[in-house]
Structure 1
Amino acid sequence: MNPLLLLSNQNEEIMKKHDEDIIITTAEGKIIKVTPKSGEHYGLSPSDLLGRSVLELERQGIFSPAITPQVVEKKKKVIMVQKTPSGQKVLITGIPLLNDEFEVEHVISYSYELSELMIMKEYLDELESQISLAKEELAYFRNRQMKIKDFISESPSTRQALKTVYKMKQFDTPVVIYGEHGTGKSILAKTIHNESERKDQPFIEVDCPSIPDAVFEDVLSGTEQSQGYLKLSSGGTLFLKEVDQLSRSSQSILFKLLQHHEDSRVIATSVHSLKEAMQNGNFREDLFYRLHLVSIELKPLRERPEDLSKAITVYLNKLKRTYSRNKNIDDTLFLHLLQLPWNGNFRELKNVVERSFIESERDTIGIHDLPPDYQPTKEEQMEIDLDGKTLPHILEFVEKKVITNAKNRYRTTTEMAAVLGISQPSVVRKLKKYSTTPLGDDTL
């Protein structure tokens, strides 16, 4: 007696403990065991199947075709699709049970209606989609934790830029990075290169504004005496700095050379919008579409308060190590630095913080240690005394000072809104609030 049978005896019976559609037959095709679900796909009850021959059922068009003969013939598992009398399709699997002589003694078969399988497939597809989404989210959060040397990324806009950088490691497309001077465009370009498969190949920088039109083609394509930038960057990255500063003639040369050079990945930077330059006739349309497949924007530092705050701390800590002096910035100076426009962005900020660090004769750097051009007027100063003041009062005082200083620095409420990172209607409301509701003392 075969020990692999679901039940120990071979009497015809219904296996009531099993909730799947399972049928057991002899090698000759007689059905000897069924489950309560057997026959459901064929419009029969389990008792209608017991004792019947699968060959007879096949002739009657109930099993079309029967699986037992095929399993007996092949002596291995068989998977096939049966068509039921009602026109449904059933996926059926037959497994042989062999005796001591390795002959098929019994066949166990189980089936699923294809519609059930389709539901399972839809579930698996949905699960796969969720897994894919989870991978994307994991990549996003990994990206949020991605640290780039000398690149500060605390603000939402900069994190979005890093997210794009992370995506670009999978592709070899041209990239244009927009931003004012000193916003970190070169560091970001180098990061894209280092995150790509070209990281072990050359990264060649081309300072576009510094190359005269007369020698632009020779510098890029090379001469008999020297290799050009294109040849040097083969297999790696050609980094075109401030491509928006090229003349129309140099743009024409660049487009022609890039059309015949596919060995380098091109990353370009621009202070101004290439699209606007193209629309104004200052940038070639064909070169624009050659370069502008992916764009990344780095906003100015005055629109990235989180990055500005972090940068002040980072630069201060570097200076402590460089000069072996444990100096700190007082709160009043820190708040004042957060209000300045920083048109030179990180370069300007780094210069001012270092000059103040050197100028300070005490361990606490204050307003008076700033270069004269950066020191606030008496009206702009934000003297802070926290003792005895509630947090709402402190915040309201700081907000009033910030709004007042911004009003004195910028011509329109639109400019104020852009610098402060709030909407223009919010600026109007706050101006009205602080011009009609005096706070009393101007200091805390």
Structure 2
Amino acid sequence: MYEKVINASYDPIFIADKDGYGIKMNEAYTRVTGITEDQLIGRHLKDVVKDGIISESVSLKVLKEKKQVTIIQHVNGKELLVTGNPIFDDKGNVSHIVTNLRNISALKSLEAELSRTKELANKYLQEIKIYQKKEDMISHEGVIANSRQMLNVINLVQKITPFNSTVLLLGESGVGKEVIANLIQKWSTRSNKPFIKVNCAAIPKELIESELFGYEKGAFTGADSRGRPGLFEQAHTGTIFLDEIGEMPLQLQGKLLRVLQEFEVTRIGGRRTIKIDVRVISATNKDLESLVKRGEFREDLYYRLNIIPIKIPPLRKRQEDIPLLANYFLDQANQKYHLNKQLTDDALLAMKAYAWPGNVREMQNLIERLVITTEADDITASHLPFSNQTAFVPQPIQKKMKEVLQDIEREMILKAISEYKTTRKAAEVLGISQSALVKKMQRLGI
């Protein structure tokens, strides 16, 4: 019964007799210290200390002082808090010494981990304060940016807004060209003037000329009997945004060029020219230079539009913005549907690894869908449609192999911590010791 009780103890127990020989130790003692029975049992503790198995014997101190003694003992590189308790016989002599151990190395690791956590918390609080101060810089009319690439775009927009030069916005579908156009208008001297948006791909080819330039009464069958001003006239003193300019029919490009050169329009069926004061912003996801070479876009119109080109990078090339955008769209969806969904760390990591072929628009639509369809409040990586089949887009090598391996380690550790909550369980799953995991987390800044 005594044997079962001793082995059932989670804490290490060691028993020595009155002569200083080891007579009993439980399984927990070996688990914590790494010392086996043949190293202690039946051996005098002076010899054990002499052989360097333990740094000092608390049992010998108890035999000498005949009272409870606590010391710090070093065993196999571990720092242990060791307490020896004497057992007295009927005559008041010490008959046995029972020793209990506590691994204070683990306690120190926890203390260090807590200290690092506090430091990180303070660091994040300071960063939050900085972001709050820079809120006007990283959030402009829906432009959420913290990456160097997008901040460069915003800085360029700031430089050009006081002037009325023609701007060409370039970038893949969904990168936010219209959002940048809104920003240019908002910061310009024409901010309180008309802002007309035209999607050249959405207007039927047979109607686009009348939509842009207007028509006089009776100009064609079905025309308004009073005639109608075109979109360029409606934008007078303000700005016109020609989205998807690459879809402009070739036969109309010459007339558009004349408008941009002379800043005057002639309505369909009309003879008089109408002077206009308009700033032109155009946008396309096509390679206009290639269209020019194929004869599908006028070269002179291209150069007229390309006075100030602004290239908006795809989302996959500005990964720093992905968590900001994801949480921004999440907040919007939560407010819209009166919910309180959250994105977990592993979900954000999966989003950063994804190529986002549809860019910001794809992310916005995905997050709204997840907010609606996910039953739990936490949206995890498993809820993402691409979590197991992240799209791959070949990219030039931008990181050294060491940095890539660190990114993989960081992702695995964050996922394990998120799922198993403690460093001990996470370390078991990752196949490393808890102390090794803590060191890696410290090195990776987790």
CA contact (8 A) 2:138 2:144 kept: no
Q: Which residue of 1 aligns with 2:395?
A: 416
Q: Which residue of 1 aligns with 2:281?
A: 267
**What do you get for the CA RMSD once the two structures are aligned?**
3.0
Select the residue among 235, 253, 256 that pairs with 2:255: 253
Whole-angstrom CA distance in 1 between matches of 2:383 and 2:205: 45
Whole-angstrom CA distance in 2 between matches of 1:210 and 1:428: 48
Q: Which residue of 2 aligns with 1:235?
A: 237
* Pairing 1:221–2:216 present: no
After TM superposition, the structure 1 = structure 2 runs for residues 143-154 of structure 1, keeping only pairs within 5 Å, are 145=137, 147-154=139-146
Deviations 1:87-139 (A, max 9, x none): xxxxxxxxxxxxxxxxxxxxxxxxxxxxxxxxxxxxxxxxxxxxxxxxxxxxx
Q: State the percentage of identical aligned residues.
A: 31
Structure 1: runs of 5+ lacking an equivalent: 1-140, 378-404
Whole-angstrom CA distance in 1 between matches of 2:135 and 2:372: 36
Deviations 1:243-296 (A, max 9, x none): 112232122221133333251000000112323332343321111121111011
CA contact (8 A) 1:301 1:345 kept: yes
Select the residue among 312, 321, 336 that pairs with 1:322: 336
CA contact (8 A) 2:344 2:380 kept: yes
Q: CA deviation at 1:299?
A: 0.8
CA contact (8 A) 1:330 1:364 kept: yes
After TM superposition, the structure 1 = structure 2 runs for residues 43-442 of structure 1, keeping only pairs within 5 Å, are 145=137, 147-224=139-216, 225-261=227-263, 263-370=277-384, 373-376=385-388, 409-410=392-393, 415-417=394-396, 422-423=397-398, 426=400
CA contact (8 A) 1:359 1:369 kept: no
Whole-angstrom CA distance in 2 between matches of 1:142 and 1:204: 31
Alpha carbons of 1:331 and 1:265: their partners in 2 closer, same or farther (altered >3 Å)? Answer: same
CA contact (8 A) 1:155 1:305 kept: yes
Whole-angstrom CA distance in 2 between matches of 1:231 and 1:265: 12
Q: Which residue of 1 aligns with 2:35?
A: none
Whole-angstrom CA distance in 2 between matches of 1:430 and 1:312: 23
Whole-angstrom CA distance in 2 between matches of 1:274 and 1:170: 27
Whole-angstrom CA distance in 2 between matches of 1:160 and 1:207: 26
Q: Which residue of 2 aligns with 1:101?
A: none
Q: CA deviation at 1:306?
A: 1.2
CA contact (8 A) 2:138 2:145 kept: no
TM-score (ref. length: structure 1): 0.53
Whole-angstrom CA distance in 1 between matches of 2:395 and 2:347: 21
Deviations 1:341-368 (A, max 9, x none): 1111112111211222222222222233
Alpha carbons of 1:376 and 1:195: their partners in 2 closer, same or farther (altered >3 Å)? Answer: same
3-state secondary structure, aligned to 2:310: strand
3-state secondary structure, aligned to 1:210: coil
3-state secondary structure, aligned to 1:177: strand
Report 1 or 2 for greater relative contact order, CA contacts < 8 Å, sequence distance ≥ 6: 2
Deviations 1:148-170 (A, max 9, x none): 12111111111111111111122
Alpha carbons of 1:355 and 1:215: their partners in 2 closer, same or farther (altered >3 Å)? Answer: closer
Alpha carbons of 1:258 and 1:427: their partners in 2 closer, same or farther (altered >3 Å)? Answer: farther
CA contact (8 A) 1:151 1:187 kept: yes
CA contact (8 A) 1:153 1:307 kept: yes
Higher mean displacement: 143-152 or 184-193:
143-152
Structure 2: runs of 5+ lacking an equivalent: 1-132, 217-226, 264-275, 414-426, 432-446
Whole-angstrom CA distance in 2 between matches of 1:233 and 1:356: 39
Q: CA deviation at 1:143?
A: 11
3-state secondary structure, aligned to 2:198: strand
Alpha carbons of 1:443 and 1:351: their partners in 2 closer, same or farther (altered >3 Å)? Answer: farther
Q: Which residue of 1 aligns with 2:46?
A: none
Q: Which residue of 2 aligns with 1:86?
A: none
Alpha carbons of 1:272 and 1:324: their partners in 2 closer, same or farther (altered >3 Å)? Answer: same
Alpha carbons of 1:426 and 1:250: their partners in 2 closer, same or farther (altered >3 Å)? Answer: farther
